[in-house]
């Protein structure tokens, strides 16, 4: 197993973004985002003072700020802030003392991803590369 | 939150992919034989006894079931034979009686059977002249109307009168022609029945003639005219028969109303049906 280096994106307070953000790693935002946040891996963290007006979808989701939209979590979901929308989770959910929910909580079936061996991945990548060339 | 706290938080949720070591699991289960080895080797001697052992019980069950079924079948066959032989004996005892009773029935049936060849006059040895006279007669005229006189009498009355009537008599529609001829030619015996069409026609055409006495005087259906009309088309020959039946239906009422005296009465009653029904329209 490879030792993955920690890769995190940080949005500091005082930043406003209009549009969707799609990431393949973790994110911590203290900014105001008018759009959806989608993260395929890592932690998607909406820090205190941060605000998202749209859908939040990630592997692990922790919300300490405010989200006005649906929240999807494939793994762990921790809410210690305010959510105006429905919450969907596959693994575990944890609600903090400052959690405020205005919507429904639904559990979905877990989506397991089985990673192939490294050799197979390399072969697939080579085949794809040869097809492209 | 400073950067270190954020980094610690993210490190806490860092992705750790789950790896399933299949080879390690397989090595941890040494009791399981390798499937390839077993498929390669053991199709020979080791499997046959095991299969035989497995198949022994079902085979025994099948054999026992078959034996039971065979025994039941044999016993059923014996019972069937016994039951079948008893009614056969009864039938054998009954058969002579039936055979004794049958011969008279066969004789009766032989009598009832129609002869292969119809009997002719030559079979009885009669002279050929009478046979030819009978051959001219249409059998339908014999079976048609009971109230009419015999066709022989009609022929004796018709033949001398006119040669056209003789031709009509020879033809196949002779009975209709003779029926129409009787209306004018021989009023004596058939007057109340066959003369009926004549008054109807007379009253329908000329009401003054209807007061005259009915049958003998009525001129319109002359024998020559009737015979010629019959020879032209066979269909009109059927119409007087319909008139006769209609007249039969009317006649009893008129007879009850006027018993015997009035000679002019028979002409008047047909006037009503002639005006009512569609019989006159047929002419």
| Domain ranges for chain A | 8-132
B17 contacts chain A (CB < 8 A): yes
Residue B6 has a pLDDT of 92
CA distance A109 to B90: 85
Residue B1 scores a pLDDT above 70: yes
CB atoms near residue A103 (< 10 Å): 13
Q: Which of B11-20, B65-74, B87-96 has the highest mean pLDDT?
A: B65-74
B23 contacts chain A (CB < 8 A): no
B11 contacts chain A (CB < 8 A): yes
Is the model more confident about A94 or about B23? A94
Q: For residue A16, what is the enclosing H or E element?
A: strand A16-18
**Strand A32-34 relative to strand A56-58: parallel, antiparallel, unpaired?**
unpaired
CA distance B237 to B175: 9
Q: Which among A42, A75, A114 has CB closest to B10?
A: A42
Sequence-separated (6 or more) residues with CB below 8 Å from residue A69 = A36, A52, A53, A54, A55, A56, A84, A85
B13 to chain A: nearest residue by CA?
A: A43
Cα B100 to its chain centre, rounded Å, is: 38
Sequence-separated (6 or more) residues with CB below 8 Å from residue B280 = B200, B204, B274
Q: Which among B6, B14, B17 has CB closest to A28?
A: B6
And the tokens for A126? 């080579």
Q: Chains A and B: how many Cβ contacts under 8 Å?
A: 46
CA distance B128 to B143: 24
Mutation pick from B6, B8, B10 vs chain A, by most beta carbons of A within 10 Å, is B10
**Strand A56-58 relative to strand A37-39: parallel, antiparallel, unpaired?**
parallel
Q: Which among B6, B11, B20 has CB closest to A10?
A: B6
Residue B25 has a pLDDT of 82
Q: What SS3 class is residue B118?
A: coil
pLDDT averaged over every residue in chain B = 63
Residue A37 has a pLDDT of 94
Report percent pLDDT > 90 for chain A.
73
Q: What SS3 class is residue A128?
A: helix
Is the model more confident about B191 or about A105? A105
Q: Rounded to two decimals, what is the model's pTM?
A: 0.35
Residue B193 has a pLDDT of 45
Q: In this prediction, does ipTM exceed 0.90?
A: no
Task: Check CB contact under 8 Å for B19 and A47.
Answer: no
Residue B76 scores a pLDDT above 90: yes
Does residue A116 contact residue B19 with C-beta atoms inside 8 Å?
no
Which stretches within A7-52 are classed as H helix? none
Task: Check CB contact under 8 Å for A28 and B10.
Answer: yes
Count Cβ neighbours within 10 Å for each residue of B23-47 and write b for 16 or more, e otherwise.
eeeeeeeeeeeeeeeeeeeeeeeee
Average pLDDT of A23-27? Answer: 92
Q: Which among B14, B17, B20 has CB closest to A42?
A: B14
Distance from CA of B26 to the nearest CA of A (A): 17
């Amino acid at each position: 197993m490879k030792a993955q280096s920690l890769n995190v994106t940080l949005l500091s307070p005082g930043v406003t973004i209009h549009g969707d953000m799609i990431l393949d790693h973790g994110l911590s935002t203290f900014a105001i985002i008018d759009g959806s946040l989608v993260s395929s891996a890592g932690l998607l963290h909406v820090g205190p003072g941060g605000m998202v007006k749209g859908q939040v979808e990630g592997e692990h989701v922790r919300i300490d700020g405010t989200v006005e939209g649906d929240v999807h979590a494939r793994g762990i979901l921790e809410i210690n802030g305010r959510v105006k929308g429905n919450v969907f989770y596959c693994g575990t959910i944890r609600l903090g003392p400052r959690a405020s929910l205005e919507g429904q909580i639904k559990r979905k079936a877990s989506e397991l991803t089985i990673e192939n061996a490294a050799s197979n991945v390399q072969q697939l990548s080579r085949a794809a590369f040869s097809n492209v060339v | 939150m400073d950067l270190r706290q954020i980094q610690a938080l993210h490190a806490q949720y860092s992705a750790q992919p789950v790896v399933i070591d299949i080879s390690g699991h397989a090595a941890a289960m040494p009791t399981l034989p390798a499937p390839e080895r077993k498929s390669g080797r053991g199709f020979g001697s080791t499997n046959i006894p095991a299969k035989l052992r497995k198949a022994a019980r079902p085979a025994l069950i099948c054999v026992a079931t078959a034996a039971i079924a065979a025994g039941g079948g044999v016993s059923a066959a014996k019972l069937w034979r016994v039951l079948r032989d008893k009614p056969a004996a009864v039938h054998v005892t009954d058969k002579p009686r039936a055979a004794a009773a049958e011969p008279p029935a066969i004789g009766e049936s032989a009598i009832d059977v129609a002869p292969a060849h119809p009997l002719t006059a030559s079979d009885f040895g009669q002279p050929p002249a009478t046979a030819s006279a009978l051959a001219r007669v249409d059998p339908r005229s014999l079976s048609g109307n009971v109230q009419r006189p015999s066709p022989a009498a009609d022929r004796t009355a018709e033949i001398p009168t006119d040669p056209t009537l003789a031709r009509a008599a020879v033809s196949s529609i002779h009975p209709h022609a003779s029926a129409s001829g009787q209306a004018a030619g021989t009023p004596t015996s058939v007057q109340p029945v066959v003369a009926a069409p004549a008054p109807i026609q007379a009253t329908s055409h000329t009401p003054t003639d209807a007061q005259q006495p009915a049958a003998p005087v009525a001129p319109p259906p002359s024998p020559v005219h009737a015979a010629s009309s019959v020879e032209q088309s066979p269909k009109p020959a059927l119409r007087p028969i319909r008139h006769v039946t209609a007249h039969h239906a009317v006649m009893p009422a008129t007879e009850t109303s006027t018993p015997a005296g009035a000679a002019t009465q028979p002409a008047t009653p047909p006037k009503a049906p002639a005006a009512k029904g569609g019989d006159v329209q047929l002419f």
